[in-house]
Amino acid sequence: MSLVIGVALLCAFVVLSRVLYIGTRLPAMPWWAAEGWVANVLCPALVVLVAFGGGFIVHAVFHWAEQGFGASRIAEMAAVLAAAAVAMILLGRIKTGTASDLTEKLAHIRTNIVLGTESGPPLHRSPGSGRAA
Protein backbone atom coordinates (compact mmCIF):
# COMPACT_ATOMS: atom_id res chain seq x y z
CA MET A 1 0.00 0.00 0.00
CA SER A 2 2.93 2.32 0.63
CA LEU A 3 3.96 2.01 -3.00
CA VAL A 4 0.49 3.00 -4.17
CA ILE A 5 0.44 6.05 -1.89
CA GLY A 6 3.96 7.05 -2.95
CA VAL A 7 3.23 6.80 -6.65
CA ALA A 8 -0.06 8.67 -6.18
CA LEU A 9 1.77 11.50 -4.40
CA LEU A 10 4.39 11.68 -7.15
CA CYS A 11 1.64 11.72 -9.80
CA ALA A 12 -0.07 14.53 -7.87
CA PHE A 13 3.26 16.38 -7.94
CA VAL A 14 3.49 16.03 -11.71
CA VAL A 15 -0.10 17.14 -12.26
CA LEU A 16 0.16 20.10 -9.87
CA SER A 17 3.47 21.26 -11.35
CA ARG A 18 2.08 20.98 -14.90
CA VAL A 19 -1.09 22.92 -13.98
CA LEU A 20 1.04 25.53 -12.22
CA TYR A 21 3.29 25.84 -15.27
CA ILE A 22 0.32 26.29 -17.59
CA GLY A 23 -1.40 28.72 -15.20
CA THR A 24 1.62 30.99 -14.96
CA ARG A 25 1.95 31.13 -18.76
CA LEU A 26 -1.65 32.17 -19.49
CA PRO A 27 -2.14 35.77 -20.68
CA ALA A 28 -4.80 36.35 -18.00
CA MET A 29 -3.09 34.72 -15.02
CA PRO A 30 -5.52 33.12 -12.52
CA TRP A 31 -5.50 34.31 -8.90
CA TRP A 32 -3.80 31.12 -7.69
CA ALA A 33 -0.85 31.69 -10.05
CA ALA A 34 0.12 35.01 -8.46
CA GLU A 35 3.67 35.28 -7.16
CA GLY A 36 2.67 35.17 -3.49
CA TRP A 37 0.59 32.00 -3.86
CA VAL A 38 3.25 30.25 -5.91
CA ALA A 39 6.11 31.12 -3.56
CA ASN A 40 4.36 30.61 -0.22
CA VAL A 41 1.80 27.87 -0.85
CA LEU A 42 2.26 25.93 -4.08
CA CYS A 43 6.05 25.45 -4.11
CA PRO A 44 6.13 24.14 -0.52
CA ALA A 45 3.23 21.85 -1.44
CA LEU A 46 5.27 20.52 -4.38
CA VAL A 47 8.25 19.88 -2.10
CA VAL A 48 6.03 18.04 0.41
CA LEU A 49 4.52 15.88 -2.35
CA VAL A 50 7.96 14.87 -3.64
CA ALA A 51 9.37 14.24 -0.15
CA PHE A 52 6.47 12.14 1.10
CA GLY A 53 6.00 10.35 -2.24
CA GLY A 54 9.64 9.36 -2.36
CA GLY A 55 9.57 8.40 1.31
CA PHE A 56 6.58 6.11 0.85
CA ILE A 57 8.23 4.43 -2.14
CA VAL A 58 11.49 3.87 -0.25
CA HIS A 59 9.51 2.53 2.72
CA ALA A 60 7.65 0.08 0.47
CA VAL A 61 10.85 -1.16 -1.17
CA PHE A 62 12.63 -1.76 2.16
CA HIS A 63 9.54 -3.34 3.72
CA TRP A 64 9.17 -5.70 0.77
CA ALA A 65 12.87 -6.54 0.87
CA GLU A 66 12.41 -7.80 4.44
CA GLN A 67 9.34 -9.91 3.61
CA GLY A 68 10.29 -11.07 0.14
CA PHE A 69 8.46 -10.54 -3.11
CA GLY A 70 5.47 -12.73 -3.90
CA ALA A 71 3.41 -12.91 -7.05
CA SER A 72 0.80 -10.50 -5.67
CA ARG A 73 3.47 -7.93 -4.77
CA ILE A 74 4.95 -8.05 -8.26
CA ALA A 75 1.50 -7.75 -9.84
CA GLU A 76 0.69 -4.77 -7.60
CA MET A 77 3.96 -3.07 -8.50
CA ALA A 78 3.40 -3.68 -12.23
CA ALA A 79 -0.14 -2.27 -12.07
CA VAL A 80 0.94 0.86 -10.22
CA LEU A 81 3.88 1.50 -12.52
CA ALA A 82 1.71 0.92 -15.63
CA ALA A 83 -0.89 3.41 -14.36
CA ALA A 84 1.83 5.95 -13.63
CA ALA A 85 3.36 5.43 -17.08
CA VAL A 86 0.01 5.97 -18.81
CA ALA A 87 -0.56 9.16 -16.81
CA MET A 88 2.91 10.46 -17.69
CA ILE A 89 2.44 9.66 -21.39
CA LEU A 90 -0.89 11.49 -21.48
CA LEU A 91 0.54 14.49 -19.64
CA GLY A 92 3.59 14.49 -21.91
CA ARG A 93 1.38 14.74 -25.01
CA ILE A 94 -0.11 18.02 -23.79
CA LYS A 95 1.95 21.01 -24.88
CA THR A 96 1.37 24.36 -23.24
CA GLY A 97 -0.51 27.17 -24.89
CA THR A 98 -3.62 29.21 -24.22
CA ALA A 99 -6.58 27.82 -22.31
CA SER A 100 -8.58 27.22 -25.51
CA ASP A 101 -5.63 25.34 -27.04
CA LEU A 102 -5.41 23.18 -23.93
CA THR A 103 -9.13 22.39 -24.02
CA GLU A 104 -8.89 21.42 -27.70
CA LYS A 105 -5.87 19.19 -27.06
CA LEU A 106 -7.51 17.44 -24.09
CA ALA A 107 -10.65 16.78 -26.15
CA HIS A 108 -8.48 15.37 -28.96
CA ILE A 109 -6.62 13.04 -26.58
CA ARG A 110 -9.91 11.86 -25.02
CA THR A 111 -11.30 11.17 -28.50
CA ASN A 112 -8.18 9.19 -29.40
CA ILE A 113 -8.48 7.09 -26.26
CA VAL A 114 -12.18 6.35 -26.76
CA LEU A 115 -12.06 5.72 -30.51
CA GLY A 116 -8.50 4.43 -30.75
CA THR A 117 -7.71 6.70 -33.70
CA GLU A 118 -4.98 9.19 -34.41
CA SER A 119 -6.89 11.53 -36.73
CA GLY A 120 -7.68 15.11 -35.81
CA PRO A 121 -5.81 18.31 -35.08
CA PRO A 122 -2.11 18.09 -34.29
CA LEU A 123 -1.09 18.19 -30.63
CA HIS A 124 1.48 20.90 -31.14
CA ARG A 125 1.89 23.70 -33.62
CA SER A 126 4.48 23.72 -36.33
CA PRO A 127 7.25 26.33 -36.08
CA GLY A 128 6.16 29.79 -37.12
CA SER A 129 2.42 29.04 -37.09
CA GLY A 130 1.30 30.87 -34.02
CA ARG A 131 1.45 34.06 -32.15
CA ALA A 132 4.70 35.89 -31.69
CA ALA A 133 6.75 35.05 -28.64
Separation CA 21–CA 40 (nearest Å) = 16
* Residues 6+ away with beta carbon under 8 Å from 116: none
CA angle at 11 for the pair 6 and 16, rounded to the nearest 5°: 125
Q: Can you point out the beta strands (E) in the chain?
A: none
CA atoms within 13 A on the CB side of 33: 15
Model confidence at 133: pLDDT above 50:
no
* Mean pLDDT value of segment 11-27: 86
Instruction: Write down the pTM of the prediction.
Output: 0.52
Residue type, 26: L
* Residues 6+ away with beta carbon under 8 Å from 3: 56, 57, 60, 61, 76, 77, 80
- Where residue 26 falls among pLDDT bands split at 50, 70, 90? confident
Model confidence at 3: pLDDT above 50:
yes
Q: What is the mean pLDDT of the chain?
A: 75
- At residue 128, the pLDDT reads 55
Model confidence over 31-58: pLDDT tens digits?
A: 888 888 888 988 899 999 999 998 998 8
